[in-house]
Amino acid sequence: MDIKFLKTISDNGFYNMAMDEALFITGMPTLRFYTFVPPAVTIGRFQKFNPSEFPQNMDIVRRLTGGRAIIHKGDLTYSVVVPLDSVLGKTAPEVYKKIGEMFQVGLNKLDIPAELVRAKLNPDYVNRVSCFSASARYELQLEGKKILGSAQKVENGKILQQGSLFVDSENENFNQLGVKQIMGKEFEIEKIVLAVKEAFVKSGINITDDELTDKEKKLIDNLLPKYHNPQL
């Protein structure tokens, strides 16, 4: 399978979420990594919006995917768009697991001893504000702490999977602890991107560096207004 790989960007939450939806709409298999500047909070597609539960000085953006809230500060976020039946898996859970395995391979290559853990969904998960309060399905952990959280949207034979790897993050209220804080070492974002990208390639995926199409750019512009309203 061929996947286009977009250059890692740093942008605001509204633009990042609009871009992921645009990529999902067009449906071309895509892998991208990004960070949030300025820091922002994303909330799950069906999560109840209560402004008092989140930092008051950050943008709040509703994701297209499910799950709970994440503070994007010091993390590396990714999104993958693939057909439902692909080399990554024939079902949504298979895709979820396969992507987790590739993150594990990439991080292990950098001497980060992350482990892919299958955890039962906590019955109270839907009532928790933070995505990192519990592990669901297959999650990547480091020394027993969740460092990678992901969520999906499946529609019209396509999957959008978004996730965040906490690299340099410490927020006790949201149970977010980064690789740096756990291991006491600095890790460069770009080295992590390259290691995970290489893991995708070794799994049999042909990755081609590419750019947004004109159609995708236009879709982003059209989608931006809705992302400025987390109530939607």
Instruction: Measure the CA–CA gap between 19 and 156, rounded to whole angstroms.
Output: 18
For the chain, state the CA radius of gyration: 16
Three-class DSSP category at 55: coil
C-alpha pair distances (Å), 137 with each of 41, 67, 77, 158: 22, 12, 19, 20
Q: How many domains does the chain have?
A: 1
Question: pLDDT value at position 125?
Answer: 45
**For residue 229, is it within any domain?**
no
**For residue 151, is it within any domain?**
yes
pLDDT (tens, 9 = 90+) of the chain, 232 residues, equals 899 999 999 999 999 999 999 999 999 999 999 999 999 999 999 888 777 777 788 999 999 999 888 989 999 999 999 999 899 999 999 999 999 999 999 999 999 999 998 866 555 444 444 444 444 577 899 999 999 989 999 999 999 999 999 999 766 555 678 999 999 999 999 999 999 999 999 999 999 999 999 999 999 999 999 998 766 6
Question: pLDDT value at position 139?
Answer: 86
| Token pair recorded at residue 110 | 């950098």
Q: What are phi and psi of 77, to 5 degrees?
A: -100, 150
**For residue 232, is it within any domain?**
no
Please, are residues 43 and 230 in contact by the beta-carbon 8 Å criterion? yes
Please, are residues 5 and 28 in contact by the beta-carbon 8 Å criterion? no
**For residue 231, is it within any domain?**
no
**Residues recognised as catalytic:** 131
**For residue 165, is it within any domain?**
yes
**For residue 140, is it within any domain?**
yes
Identify the domain containing residue 150 by its residue range.
Answer: 2-222
CATH code for the domain in which residue 35 is found: 3.30.930.10
Phi-psi region of 111 (alpha: psi -120 to 50; beta: other; left: phi over 0): left
DSSP code for 102: H
**For residue 51, is it within any domain?**
yes
Kindly report the pTM of this predicted structure: 0.90
**For residue 227, is it within any domain?**
no
| Token pair recorded at residue 40 | 């922002």
